[in-house]
Structure formats: C-alpha cells, structure tokens
Structure 1
Amino acid sequence: MTSLVIMKCEGKESVNDGGDDTGEPFVPPINFANVEDRIYRSGFPQPSNFPFLETLQLRSVINLCPEPYPRENLEFLRAHKIQLFQFGIDGTREPSVDVLRNSINEALKFLIDVRNHPVLIHCKRGKHRTGCVVGSLRKLQNWCLSSVLEEYKHYAGVKSRDTDLKFLETYDVRYLRECLQTIICQYHGYGSKKRRLLSGEEVTHKSQITSFRSSTEVRFYNHTTIDATPFTRENLSRG
C-alpha cells in the first residue's frame, strides 16, 4: 500500500549564504540533475549534501521511499522551512503496475504545482522510482516516447529495468489530466514573479503540458493527507 506523509512548514524564506563557511566544496546528491527550471531529481540526500541543497532554496522535497525519513534530514527540512511529501513505493521489489501508476499519479500532482517549487524529487538512487515519475512527467509534457525512454536509461544505467520501460511505454496521462480539476495554476512566463492562481472559470482549460518554460495552465488536485497537517487550498496558498 502506498502511503502519503506531508510535513508542512510555513513562512518559507530564501536560504543562500553564498558558500560553505568551512571552505569545503558543495557536493550534490547522487544522480542529481535539473529536470526543469526549479524542478530537480536525485538519489537520497545525505548530510554531506545539505550545503549544496541550501543553494537550491528548495520549497519542497518529494520522497518516493517508504521508510521513515532520517532525523538529520527532517531537521534540515525544518531548519530551512521545506515541505516534505512522501509517497512510499517499495524499492526492494518491482511494484505492481497499478500501485506504481497510482503512486506516480499522486506524486505528479504535487510535482507540477508551481507553489511547491523549487522542488527536489528523489528515491534511494535516483534511478527507477524517480525515473518513472520523471518519465511520466515527460509524457504529460508530450515528449516523444523514444526521448522519454532514453532519459530513463541515462540515469538508470546498467540497472535499467524492462518493467519500468514497459510501464513508461503504456503509461496513459489521460487519467491524470481528468483528475487535476480542483485548482488551476497558470504560469505567466514560468519562473517569473508573475505567477498567480486562477479558478476554473477564469481560464480556458488546456489538455496537456508542453513545457514548464512557456505560459501553461496546470490543473491541480487536492489530496487528503494521512497523519499530517490538513492539506487544504488555504494552507497551501503562499500569496
């Protein structure tokens, strides 16, 4: 069963002191990469990666591992007022197609909401679970299948799984488009300060996301949390 745990932090402030006071070089997490502007992927962050993560000024972290988040990581998130969204996908065995699809659909609803950006999505090694989420995002962006699979293979390397590739080949984004009904986030020049939320009546709905860098409308679905701060439209609003 997939669980969702959300740690909600208020009053996010920018954190970037311009460098490591110890003089040590910044070390990114394993398999770290930029997916889109203000969207990142990686393997599980270690304490040695925290100074690097500070430079990203993260607002959210999406964790695809089912295990409890390490205390050191939680303390880092709290200290920097970073939200944690956790979707437990078992990495010790290949999950069923239904479990994987449902978990990915839920994770994508948080990943594409601009109010959660900058966001880091990660699993243990940043290969299979993260690769499936990013690959599904690419299909939502209308990437051609060959490019979707090539990106997955690039990060999975020799550990590429045929079941993951098959999943990405057959993943149907129509369900996700139908689910993203409650809130529409419209990007006015993605990454600019002109972001604003619009109700469904104020915009013309578009059927797909083609790029996060252009003016794009994204529907966002409210999810009920488990053992976490109530997740509502009001307490997500950041002005």
Structure 2
Amino acid sequence: MLTPPEQFGIVEPGLYRSDTLHPSHFPFIRSLNIKTAILLTPELPSRAMSNFFEENQIRLIDLALGSWKNNNNNTTGDAQGNGSNNNNGSGSNPNQGESNFSTMVTSSIPVAPFHTSWWKPLSEELIKDGLEMILDAKNYPIIVMDTSGIHEIGTFMGCLRRLQHWNFSSIIVEYRAYAGNKARYVNEQFIELFDIDWITLPESLPNWWIEQEEMWHEEEEERELQLQQEREARANERQQELNAAASLALTLSNNPS
C-alpha cells in the first residue's frame, strides 16, 4: 500500500509539495519518479531519507543550508572547487560509508546559519533561487519539502502563485487550506510583498508554465480588447450627447421665443 506524506500535494504536473519524508512514504515517492528534491528548512535530512534519495538517483538541493547534494562524484566538495571532501585536511571523511553525496556551496545562496529578518519566514534570495529551480524543466519531476509542510513551503508556493498571476485571495485560500489553524499572517504578508519581478525565467520552462502563460496572455488580450470596446462605446455615447446638445442649441437659436 502506498502511503503519501500527511502534507503531500500536487502543485502542478510534475511539481509536488510535502512535509518531511519517513520510510513509510518512500514507496509512494518512488512511484512519482522524482528527479529533484528541494529542502527549504535549514536542517540536515535524516540518514534514511538521504539514503533513499541516493539509491533512487534523486538530486537533493538543500536551499536553506546553501548547499547542493548530488550523486556526482566529480562535483567539487567545497566552495573553492578543489574536488576535496575533507573536513580536516587529512583526507578522511567522517561520513564515509554512509552516503556518496557530495556537497557544493552555491554562491548565490547564503551559507548556514540561515538568516532572515525578524518578520520574514524565508529570505528573498532563497525564494528567488528556489522558484528559478522549479521553473527549470531540466529538474522535473520535483518535490519541495519543509519540516512541517506548512510554513516555509506555504510561503514559497504562495510566491509561485503570484508569479502565475493568481489573485491574492485565491493564493491565501490555498495557503490556509494547508495551514489550517496554524496559518501565520507574517507568511501571508511576505507573499503579498514579494517582488516577483526579481525572478529570472530559465530558458527551459515546464509545459504547464508555457501553457498557462499562453492562456494568461490570451485572456489579457481579450480583456484589453473588451476595455477598448467599452472605451469606444463610452466615447460614442458622449459624442452623441454632445451632438444632441449642439443640435438643440442650434434649434433654439433659430427659433427664439
């Protein structure tokens, strides 16, 4: 029997959200053929989850810790890119035998400890990098996770919905559907204030994004055409009123009482 995580959800085709995975969830997650897993909370995954990702060739991207974990043994092991995975320069690896994941610190994401200002559930940099990753078709299928499946991920997906041109009321309805009585106003405020113009779209976009953007542009063109027609109708009505007033004035001037 396949058991999904408690806070599992389908965001878009090939894009999923979830709370922390446990061994009972692994068969279900395996059935999704996940290629990339993105963590939003600054904590290391359990050994069981790390092993599961490794065994199933799933790339683990730990955004909050500012690191990428791959099954690529040629990936650099430190920020200098020297190919070493040493912690003390001795060539030993304290995790040797537990996992073959190598780690590369990304320059665009703040390295742990994970800092945000007092009111922000996530940093703008993390949201930007994460959204650009889930909009890159080369990373699909993708699962995005946080510890609870509510707060960080709810904020993150709310920013995605902003980018998808959802109205804010619909975004909050979706956020609260997952959060329930744990909803936080600060998360909703972050979603509302996040600057979506900061996002750079990848060259390779998923099909669902392309289709939705085409539909949105068509709807925008239809709305603009409708507005133009309404403006022209109002202008015609106004012109008719002016013509009628001028005609009345001419009639009165030709027929003084």
TM over 0.5: yes
Give the 5 Å matches for 1:31-110.
31-88=7-64, 96-97=119-120, 100-110=123-133
Give yes or no for contact 2:120–2:187 (8 Å, CA) kept in 1: no
Residue 209 of structure 2 is matched in structure 1 by: 212
State how many pairs are aligned.
Answer: 166
Between the aligned partners of 1:174 and 1:138, the Cα distance in structure 2 is: 13
**Structure 1 position 168 matched with structure 2 position 165:** no
**Structure 1 position 112 matched with structure 2 position 135:** yes
Instruction: Give the counterpart letter for 1:114 in structure 2.
Output: A
Residue 128 of structure 1 is matched in structure 2 by: 151
What is the RMSD computed on CA atoms of the aligned residues? Answer: 2.4
Give yes or no for contact 1:30–1:125 (8 Å, CA) kept in 2: no
Which structure 1 residue ranges, 5 or more long, are not aligned? Answer: 1-24, 191-210, 218-239
**1:98/1:35 CA distance change after superposition, 3 Å:** closer
Instruction: Give the counterpart letter for 1:102 in structure 2.
Output: E
Give yes or no for contact 1:37–1:213 (8 Å, CA) kept in 2: no
Instruction: Give the counterpart letter for 1:104 in structure 2.
Output: I
**Structure 1 position 153 matched with structure 2 position 172:** no
Quote the offset at 1:44 in angstroms: 0.5
Matching residue within 148, 161, 184 for 2:203: 184
Quote the offset at 1:86 in angstroms: 0.8
Give yes or no for contact 1:30–1:44 (8 Å, CA) kept in 2: no
Instruction: Give the counterpart letter for 1:168 in structure 2.
Output: I
User: Rg bigger for which structure?
Assistant: 2
Between the aligned partners of 1:62 and 1:159, the Cα distance in structure 2 is: 23
Matching residue within 4, 13, 30 for 2:6: 30
SS in 1 for 2:10: strand
Give yes or no for contact 2:133–2:139 (8 Å, CA) kept in 1: yes
Instruction: Give the counterpart letter for 2:4 in structure 1.
Output: P
Quote the offset at 1:97 in angstroms: 3.3
Give yes or no for contact 1:186–1:215 (8 Å, CA) kept in 2: no
User: Where in structure 1 do 4 or more consecutive aligned residues deviate above 2 Å?
Assistant: 93-100
Measured against aligned partners, the alpha-carbon deviations of 1:164-218 in whole angstroms (never above 9, x if no partner) come to 0111111120111xx44xx51145xx2xxxxxxxxxxxxxxxxxxxx5261759x
Q: Which has the higher contact order (CA 8 A, sep 6+)?
A: 1
SS in 1 for 2:62: strand
Q: Which has the higher helix share?
A: 2
TM-score (norm 1): 0.64
Q: Which has the higher strand share?
A: 1
Between the aligned partners of 2:31 and 2:49, the Cα distance in structure 1 is: 16
Measured against aligned partners, the alpha-carbon deviations of 1:84-129 in whole angstroms (never above 9, x if no partner) come to 11122899x9854395222111111111111111100010111010
Give yes or no for contact 1:42–1:122 (8 Å, CA) kept in 2: yes
Measured against aligned partners, the alpha-carbon deviations of 1:133-185 in whole angstroms (never above 9, x if no partner) come to 11111111111111111111110110000100111111120111xx44xx511
Give yes or no for contact 1:149–1:168 (8 Å, CA) kept in 2: no
Which structure 2 residue ranges, 5 or more long, are not aligned? Answer: 66-112, 215-257
